Amino acid sequence: MHRRTPAALAAIGVLALAGCTDEPREPARPEPVRVTWVEKQLPPPDGAPGRTVVRDAVQCGDGWWVVGAVFLDRPSETRDTRPAAWFSADRGTWRSVPVEARTYWGRRAILNSVACSRGRVAVVGARSGGAHGNPRVTTFHAEGESLVDVRAVFTQYGGVSATNVGPIAGGPTGWLITGNRTSGPGVWWTDDPRGFTRVEAEPGLTDDGDLESLAQGAGWAGEEWVVVGAGARTGRHLDPDPLAWTSPDGLTWTPEEMPAAEGAEDVHRVTLLDDGRLLAVGLHEGRYAAWVRDDDGWGDAVSFGEVAQEWRGAPYVASLVTTPAGALASVSTGDHYELWQTGDGRDWRRVDVPLEPQTAGDHTLVVAAGEDLLLVADAGDGGHVWVGEPISP
């Protein structure tokens, strides 16, 4: 956090006593939100030993889920990771969840995203490989006391029209995976996590020839699904504008206008606030941006935080969830991860966290959606989990 030096404070005091200055003063930055964080231990999963990594978490059913992987201590020529998951009824005591992977890529998957619908979880994992080194996507679902993988044909998530597969979101009717195909944004929807329907080249999602768009994330908005991302017109690829798409069923989609500002904008995550409004967070010209949708539509973006001047990796929004402490967004500045809080989507405050990992491919900081605070992080030294209790509003 930027703080004025004693000399600067003294100078301000002299100017105030003098009673006149025309120089604008930098507004005081709000104090960070303070949370008491207590770390809890994740037991090593049964099986081949290695370093545990965590990627996502959610409250679902009778407790809390954390998903990730094990980076094997003794990798082979064809396998260096295996999927891993944990469950806790109270956020305090965790147990490893057996992962019964029956497919080649399922046995190697890193579980990157988990979501809840009607008390059940669905998980998306992937591991790069094959002739071209592309991510090979596998989905998982809970079956009894285990997670099991779902067999799918190669073209379900890959193939000649594939671009990428992103995070999974849950709602009262099922689950929605966001991604992109060569035709534009694509999604995978289901009300049964044992199989997904790929929605590709759907008219409401398909680029129109002049527009090239990219979907980043999705969420349930109370009565419909909302996908968020960005798009740019021909000749303006360095100046994308924010975009959204809506669907009542995950199958038919309608573009939804978002207000654009000068400079590049990109929306990464979206969450439903307790008052029924929708909050989206992304990037805008070296800062983070937040858009709020109410009954009148999307409002203009407000900015908060700052992207680092020098990057270790790309800046992005790693997670955005609604909690009893307000909406929380974990972000990568390009140099390290931070956690931010808002009560209304407009005013944002930094949150003190026990670990701000450096931005790197194997590092993360994610806050879980749920009725309490749960934070997971990975700084390359194994997965960490903390439970939190706010000590300031």
**Beta-bridge mates of residue 181:** 162, 184
DSSP 314-355: --EEEEEEEETTEEEEEEE-SSBEEEEEESSSSSEEEE--S-
Give the Cα separation of 381 and 386 in Å (integer). Answer: 15
For residue 37, is pLDDT > 50?
yes
**Beta-bridge mates of residue 214:** 230
- Predicted confidence band of residue 132 (pLDDT cuts 50, 70, 90): low
The answer to which of 131-135, 214-218, 245-249 has the lowest mean pLDDT is 131-135
CB count within 10 Å of CB 51 equals 17
For residue 218, is pLDDT > 50?
yes
For residue 130, is pLDDT > 90?
no
Two structure tokens written together for 11: 């100078």
Q: What's the chain's average pLDDT?
A: 91
Query: Is 83 in contact with 106 (CB distance < 8 Å)?
Result: yes
Cα-to-chain-centroid distance, residue 334: 15
Residue 29, pLDDT score = 67
- The structure's pTM equals 0.90
Residue 19, pLDDT score = 42
For residue 112, is pLDDT > 50?
yes
pLDDT tens track for 338-392: 999 999 999 999 999 999 999 998 899 999 999 999 999 999 999 999 999 987 5
Give the Cα separation of 227 and 185 in Å (integer). Answer: 9
pLDDT tens track for 263-304: 999 999 999 999 999 999 999 999 999 999 999 999 999 999
CA nearest to 262, candidates 238, 243, 282: 238
Residue 27, pLDDT score = 54
Residue 393, pLDDT score = 55
CA nearest to 97, candidates 127, 128, 60, 129: 60
Residue 134, pLDDT score = 82
Residue 207, pLDDT score = 84
Query: Is 375 in contact with 348 (CB distance < 8 Å)?
Result: no
User: Could you tell me which residues come within 8 angstroms of residue 27 by beta carbon, excluding any fewer than 6 positions away?
Assistant: none
| Residues comprising the chain, all counted | 393
Residue 9, pLDDT score = 32
**Beta-bridge mates of residue 174:** 171
The answer to which of 35-49, 125-139, 366-380 has the lowest mean pLDDT is 125-139
Residue 235, pLDDT score = 79
Give the Cα separation of 231 and 206 in Å (integer). Answer: 12
Residue 13, pLDDT score = 33
DSSP H or E stretch at residue 95:
strand 95-97
Give the Cα separation of 220 and 226 in Å (integer). Answer: 6
- Predicted confidence band of residue 5 (pLDDT cuts 50, 70, 90): very low
CA nearest to 268, candidates 237, 242, 287: 242
Query: Is 224 in contact with 247 (CB distance < 8 Å)?
Result: yes
